[in-house]
Amino acid sequence: MALKLPIFMDSPSTTPVDPRVLETMLPYFTEKFGHPSSRNHPFGWEAEKAVDQAREQIAKLIGARDPKEIVFTSGGTESINLALKGIAEMYREKGNHIVTTAIEQRAGLDVSKRLERQGCMVTSVPVGQDGLVDVDEIRKAITDKTILISVMFANNEIGTIQPIAEIGKLAKEKGIVFHTDATQAVGKIPVDVEAMGIDLLSCTAHLIYGPKGIGALYVRRKSPRVRIAPIIDGGGHERGMRSGTVPVPLAVGFGKAAEICTEVMSEERTRLKALRDKLQDRILSSLDEVFLNGHPEKRLPHILNVSFAYVEGESVLMGVNKEGAISSGSACTSSTLEPSYVIAALGVDSELAHSSIRFGLHRLNTEEEVDYIGTRIVEVVKRLRDMSPLYELAKEGVDIKSINWKAE
C-alpha cells in the first residue's frame, strides 16, 4: 500500500472522527431528530435516552459514579471557563484565591487573567525542568482564602503527566475544590475521578476521535457536593449549569468515542508509545544537539516534543509541511511568533524554545508513516544546519554566547 501524503501527526490539536463514531451519529441528524428536553412525546424520549446513554459512556471512561455528573458543553474551552468562573462566583463568600500552574493551556491561563481583573487572586505555581509541578509548592501556595486548585492533567505541548492523585489528596485534606483540565489525557491514559479525588474535570470529544463542537464538564455530586454558577443563562438545561439545547448527534458521537476508548485504550497506549519511541530514537540517534522537552517517562504515550539547536522550528515545519502535519506549539498559540510559553517555563532559553517541535501520534498512524516523518525531519534539520554559520562555529568549539556580534 502506497504511503499517502500528507501525514497527520498533530493529534493534540484534533483527531479524525472514528468511522464507528460517525456511523452511530448519522441517524440522529435525520430519523431521530427530537429535542432531548421534549418529554411529552416519543421523539423527545428517544433523544433524551440517547443523551443519557452518552453520559453513561463518558462517566465510565473517567470513573464517575453517576452519569448525571456529566454536563455537556460546546468543548474543552467552555468546560474550563464553566469550571473556573462557576466556582469563583459560587464560592466568592468563602474566598477569592485560585492556585494553578504556569503551563496550563491558554483557556485556563486566560480565564485566570480575567478572574484576576474581577478581583480574584491567582497564584501560578512554576514547574520543574521536566514540566512536573511540585505538590509541596501547591501546598505552600494555599491560603485561608483558597477556593480552587486547577491543574492540567497532562500538558498539550510536552505531554508531561502531573501527580493528579497527590494533588487531589491535598485538596481533600484542605477542603478545597480540585479541577483538572483533562482534555489531553481522557481516552489516552487511565483517568479516575473517584480514585484521584477530582471534583471537576474538563474534557472534549474531538481529541478522542469524536466530533468537534461538544465537550463535557464532570461536576462531583457527592463527597463533597460541588456547586457551580452557570455562565450561560436560559432554559435551565443540564440541571441549571449550562443552558442551551444539547446537540444530540454530537453527544451520541462523544459517547461512542468514549466507549471505544474504554475498550481499546490499554492496547492503543502500548502501540502509540512504541511508535513514539521509535520516532524519538530515529531523531536522537541521527542528530546531535537535540533535546527532549518534558518528562522522559511521565508523559502521554503519543506526544513527542524536541528542540533542535541551531535551527528555527518554523523552518523545520516549512521543510516538511507538504508531507506532514506537525506543530511548533499548541493549536491555541500557533498563530503567534512568540516561543512557546510552556517550553520557556521549563527553563529552556529563547533560542531552543523557538526550535521546539511537537509530534502527536494518533489511532490511524502507521509504522511506515513514523519512518517517513522521522527520515524527513532528519534530512531537513541536517540541510538547515549545513546553511547555519552558528552550527558550524559550535562544531568548531566556539562558545556562541561569548561572541560579541556588534562592531566596535
Element (H, E) at 367: helix 367-386
pLDDT at 319: 96
Q: How far is CA 211 from CA 80, 267, 331, 398, in A?
A: 18, 23, 17, 52
Residue 402 has pLDDT above 90, yes or no: no
Q: How far apart are CA 313 and CA 335, in angstroms?
A: 14
Residue 67 C-alpha cell reads as 452519569
Model confidence band, residue 401 (pLDDT cutoffs 50, 70, 90): low
Label the pairing between strands 7-8 and 70-73. unpaired
DSSP 67: G
DSSP 61: H
222-268 residue pLDDT tens: 999 999 999 999 988 998 899 999 999 999 999 999 999 999 999 99
Helices (H) and strands (E) in the chain, counts: 12, 12
23-56 residue pLDDT tens: 999 999 999 999 999 989 999 999 999 999 999 9
Inter-residue contact 191 to 185 (CB < 8 Å): yes
Label the pairing between strands 177-181 and 7-8. unpaired
The average pLDDT across 277-296 equals 97
Least Cα distance to 250 among 201, 213, 209, 202 occurs for 213
Inter-residue contact 28 to 249 (CB < 8 Å): yes
Instruction: Identify any residues that bridge with 308 across adjacent strands, giving them in sequence order.
Output: 290
Q: What b/e readout covers 270-287, taking b as 16+ CB neighbours within 10 angstroms?
A: ebbeebbeebbebbeeeb
184-196 residue pLDDT tens: 999 999 999 999 9
Considering the entire predicted model, what is its pTM? 0.95
Residue 97's φ and ψ, nearest 5 degrees, are: -110, 135
The average pLDDT across 296-315 equals 96
137-182 residue pLDDT tens: 999 999 999 999 999 999 999 999 999 999 999 999 999 999 999 9
Give the residue carrying C-alpha cell 556562541. 400
DSSP 164: H
pLDDT at 152: 98
The average pLDDT across 297-307 equals 98
pLDDT at 334: 46
Mean pLDDT of the chain: 94
Residue 205 has pLDDT above 70, yes or no: yes
Query: Which of the residues are catalytic?
Result: 332
In 137-268, the DSSP E strands lie at 146-150, 177-181, 200-204, 215-219
First to last CA, the chain: 61
352-400 residue pLDDT tens: 999 999 999 999 999 999 999 999 999 999 999 999 887 877 787 777 6
306-364 residue pLDDT tens: 999 999 999 999 999 999 999 986 444 444 567 899 999 999 998 899 999 999 999 99
The average pLDDT across 301-310 equals 97
Q: How far apart are CA 139 and CA 132, in angstroms?
A: 15
Residue 405 has pLDDT above 60, yes or no: no
Inter-residue contact 21 to 208 (CB < 8 Å): no
60-99 residue pLDDT tens: 999 999 999 999 999 999 999 999 999 999 999 999 999 9
Inter-residue contact 7 to 243 (CB < 8 Å): no
